[in-house]
Structure 1
Amino acid sequence: MGLFVRILLFTFALLWLSGCAYKAQEAPAGSWQAQKTTLTKLQQWQLSARLGIITADERGSLSLFWRQNSDDYRMNLTNVVGKRVFDLTRSQGLVVITDSEGQLHQATNARELVFRLTGWDLPVEQLSYWIKGLPGEADQVEYDTDGRPKTIVAHGWRLRYLGYTRIDGLWLPSRIDLTHDDTTLRLAINQWELKP
């Protein structure tokens, strides 16, 4: 075999190997990894869900409505008969909760305000991206066979993603369990609505 042929074969082998390495790093079309950028940019959405809350002292089931608009959001919780538990809004950094009696409470930290009023430790600030299946940069993540988050450990919470659904071409969570100390949250999302 001539030197030119050997060089040519060697060059083709290098190109083939580099092509394989490049393709191996690409996410499969339609996979969660391929859609991560789209999910990150998704700033306007809303959902309705059932939220189960289990603590050392109580157990309850609530209806959750969440509307996200960039950094601002509205989270409304009602009980099984439709009575408001609380309505939480964040606008321009100010958090306001309207309680079941119609009283207004203000703060800059949603999690602390919810805990003070209800005794529930809800990771409100993190939920806006966890609920989309997006881990934070410092979160510990385990992925499923399709490359989607399976578990996330962060801020003292452990999340288990128990189901996904395809909405407008995106994989979004449909069931999430969250645990922290003696608090367990079970979220079953009934409906997603995405806005460009």
Structure 2
Amino acid sequence: MSLPELSVRILVFTFALLWLSGCAYQAQEAPAGSWQAQKTTLTQLQQWQLSARLGIITPDERGSLSLFWRQDRDDYRMNLTNVVGKRVFDLTRRQGQIMLTDHEGQQHQATDARELVLRLTGWDLPVEQLSYWIKGLPGEQDQVEYDADGRPNTILAHGWKLRYLGYTRIDGLWLPSRLDLTHNDTTLRLAISQWELES
């Protein structure tokens, strides 16, 4: 059975994203200008990890997975598991080398993480951009709209539209708790349940 076929079966029988309404941090208000003041700190934050629910909606699939992400400067590990805790895939970047380990333990290498995930699963995930978008940090060329508290509300970049639906305060920083990403006919919904920051 191929990985795309397995992923369809995994997602078809998964609850239809009902967890998004309650499992993440609640949105909180921030003092005006507080996000702008922390922008430099966010840029310098290069070691962190999070746990989240990732909802994936395409014309053929609709379901949710558990996401673990650990960032260590330019390197990362992105692990996705299904509702019963079995690995869907494990994606790592170490010293510029990108490797994906599939559900059968087979390893696949490439120079482009997004292309590799798309080829093996059929899912369009902006892996490299997520490493800073998930912190609520726009790229230098991104189009950004801010909320009433000065935090990113909407980002348009690389054909993606991001909407930040909630923030929470972690170790003095305002970090996203919920965000939606759309690109063509793909929608991703992230509900972050835990952040861990390292100095």
Cα drift, residue 54 of structure 1: 0.2
Bigger helix share: 1
In 1, are the aligned partners of 2:160 and 2:181 still within 8 Å (CA)? yes
Task: Tell me what 2:95 maps to.
Answer: 92
| Larger Rg belongs to | 1
Cα drift, residue 51 of structure 1: 0.3
Cα drift, residue 45 of structure 1: 0.1
**Aligned pairs (5 A) from 1:90-129:** 90-129=93-132
Q: Are 1:159 and 2:162 matched, yes or no?
A: yes
Q: 1:177 aligns with which of 171, 175, 180?
A: 180
Q: What SS does the aligned partner of 2:135 have?
A: coil
Unaligned runs of 5+ in 2: 1-30
Task: Tell me what 2:58 maps to.
Answer: 55
Q: 2:141 aligns with which of 134, 138, 143?
A: 138
Cα drift, residue 30 of structure 1: 7.1
Task: Tell me what 2:39 maps to.
Answer: 36
In 1, are the aligned partners of 2:32 and 2:148 still within 8 Å (CA)? no
Q: Distance in 1 between matches of 2:102 and 2:68?
A: 15
Runs of 4+ in 1 over 4 A off after TM superposition: none
Q: Could you say which structure has the greater relative contact order, defined with CA pairs below 8 angstroms and 6 or more residues apart? A: 2
Q: Distance in 2 between matches of 1:30 and 1:46?
A: 26
Which amino acid is 1:173 matched to?
P
Task: Tell me what 1:7 maps to.
Answer: none
Superposed CA RMSD = 1.0
Q: Distance in 2 between matches of 1:160 and 1:179?
A: 9
Q: Distance in 2 between matches of 1:119 and 1:136?
A: 26
**Cα distance change, pair 134–90 in 1 and its aligned pair in 2 (3 A):** same
Q: Distance in 1 between matches of 2:135 and 2:35?
A: 11
Q: 2:151 aligns with which of 144, 148, 162?
A: 148
Q: Distance in 1 between matches of 2:60 and 2:52?
A: 23
TM-score (norm 1): 0.85
Identity %: 86
**Cα distance change, pair 29–181 in 1 and its aligned pair in 2 (3 A):** closer
Cα drift, residue 49 of structure 1: 0.1
TM-score (norm 2): 0.84
Q: What SS does the aligned partner of 1:33 have?
A: helix
Cα drift, residue 29 of structure 1: 7.9
Task: Tell me what 2:198 maps to.
Answer: 195
Task: Tell me what 2:75 maps to.
Answer: 72
Q: Distance in 2 between matches of 1:147 and 1:36?
A: 11
Which amino acid is 1:182 matched to?
D
Which amino acid is 1:123 matched to?
P
Q: How many equivalent pairs are there?
A: 169
Partner deviation per Cα, 1:9-68 (whole Å, 9 max, x = no partner):
xxxxxxxxxxxxxxxxxxx78711000000000000000000000001111200000000
Q: Distance in 2 between matches of 1:143 and 1:29?
A: 11
